[in-house]
């Protein structure tokens, strides 16, 4: 498809009534083909009150659940490369960060991907989501400090 066709397709998509019903304030779209940007465009507002349009190069969005499919794809690529075993205890991949699991069943990557870890909590805590991008916590530090506890046998729920 030519860039103008891609843009027309995206424009039509965001004009659809079923999409408008979601009342999303804005979105950024980037389409890449063969390593080249075909379309990069913002739709709607980054700030409704100020009528600030979405800038696809500058507007920051929370990733939310879309990160799950990206993460699962990356994990499965590591499985294909034989760098991760889906059924091996994840403690093998955690370095010096201990997994709080008192059960005989080890916690595995399969449990993580299928949401059957048996963790006591699975949602971020209130203070976890911070709009101040200058206050970044390294992942290892965050995980060590916030490692959930396995309170149900992994794989059961």
Active site residue ranges = 65
CA dist., res. 150 & res. 157, Å (int): 11
Q: Are 10 and 24 in contact (CB under 8 A)?
A: no
Q: Give Dmax over CA atoms of the chain in angstroms.
A: 58
Retrieve residue 14's tokens: 């965001």
Q: Which DSSP string do the residues of 44-81 spell out, in sequence order? A: EEEETTTTEEP-TTT-----TTHHHHHHHHHHHHHHHT
CA dist., res. 15 & res. 142, Å (int): 40
């Amino acid at each position: 498809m030519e860039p103008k066709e891609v843009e027309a397709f995206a424009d039509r998509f965001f004009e659809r009534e079923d999409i408008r019903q979601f009342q999303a304030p804005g979105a950024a779209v980037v389409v890449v083909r063969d390593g080249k940007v075909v379309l990069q465009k913002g739709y709607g507002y980054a700030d409704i009150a100020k009528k600030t349009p979405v800038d696809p190069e500058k507007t920051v969005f929370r990733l939310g659940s879309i990160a799950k499919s990206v993460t699962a794809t990356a994990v499965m690529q590591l499985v294909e490369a034989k760098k991760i075993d889906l059924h091996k205890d994840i403690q093998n991949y955690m370095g010096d960060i201990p997994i709080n699991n008192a059960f005989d069943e080890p916690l595995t990557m399969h449990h993580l991907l299928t949401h059957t870890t048996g963790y006591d909590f699975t949602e971020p805590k209130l203070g976890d989501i911070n709009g101040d991008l200058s206050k970044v916590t390294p992942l290892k530090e965050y995980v060590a400090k916030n490692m959930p506890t396995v309170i149900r046998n992994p794989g059961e729920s």
